[in-house]
Amino acid sequence: MTVIAKAWHSASRTDAGKVRSGNEDAILDRPELGLWAVADGMGGHRNGALASRLIVDRLAEQACEGPLATRLAAIRQCLHDVNRQLSQALTVTTDCPDPVMGSTVIALVVADDRAACVWAGDSRCYLWRGGRLYQLSRDHSLRQQLLDEHAMSAEQVAAHPAAHALTRAVGASERLQLDILEFETYPGDTLLLCSDGLYQDLPADALPAALGLPSASLVLRRLFDEALTGPARDNLSAVVVRR
């Protein structure tokens, strides 16, 4: 067991939900590596499931030693590599000349007291610290773009038919642009990585109520109990990480 493993505890779960027959989400829960991730595949069940699995399986191969900057560079390289494979190197057919094989990703990496989250798409990272909830990631979605750049109200955006469309994802275009946030961590910090299937139908007070519970597994159970009482139209995934 490494120092990382002693300092951090985590719990994770992915579920197809109530409507979809397959699960396009993939999760990585490796406290011994100080690395966690959620990926939400797009482009139809089969391709999406392969894309999200490829991301988490490749991330799992990354070296777990060295300072945060080194590990972060390796993770970025890995995601750019997968992006190239999915966006430029696929064999295509006449039936499907322009296949979409992509996935969102939100990854969290820790080294000593520092952490970084890396993302593309609308899977999110939340931080629960000192009884307050912070959303660390900003969605790469049309919804977020309409809010930020077109000064539309939340109600107007909600009525937009394509509000959930992604503006960035691994495999979606030749050039992948990742967002990265580095921060200090403190004992008691709880981080939640999740796909939109988990957060989109939860009531506003559900996250603070769950994240204050005493263990990562209790948090996870509460979140899934809550989400699965709702419509659960999408696949839902979460990784809860506590220091």
List residues binding another protein (CB under 8 A): 22, 46-47, 50-51, 53-54, 57, 60-61, 77, 80-81, 84-86, 88-95, 99, 101, 174
Residue with tokens 């996250």: 207
Nearer to another protein, 87 or 137 (CB): 87
Least Å from the CB of residue 96 to another protein: 8
CB atoms within 10 A of CB 204: 6
Nearer to another protein, 9 or 84 (CB): 84
Nearer to another protein, 96 or 154 (CB): 96
Least Å from the CB of residue 22 to another protein: 8
Say how far apart CA 196 and CA 235 lie, in whole Å.
8
Least Å from the CB of residue 24 to another protein: 12
- Identify the sign of the CA torsion 215, 217, 223, 229: negative
Least Å from the CB of residue 90 to another protein: 4
Token pair belonging to 146: 């309409």
Nearer to another protein, 77 or 135 (CB): 77
Angle between helices 45-60 and 68-88 (to 10 degrees): 150
Say how far apart CA 26 and CA 236 lie, in whole Å.
10
Least Å from the CB of residue 128 to another protein: 31
Token pair belonging to 53: 């699995």
Q: Which of 168, 177, 178, 185 has its CA nearest to residue 134?
A: 185
Nearer to another protein, 47 or 185 (CB): 47
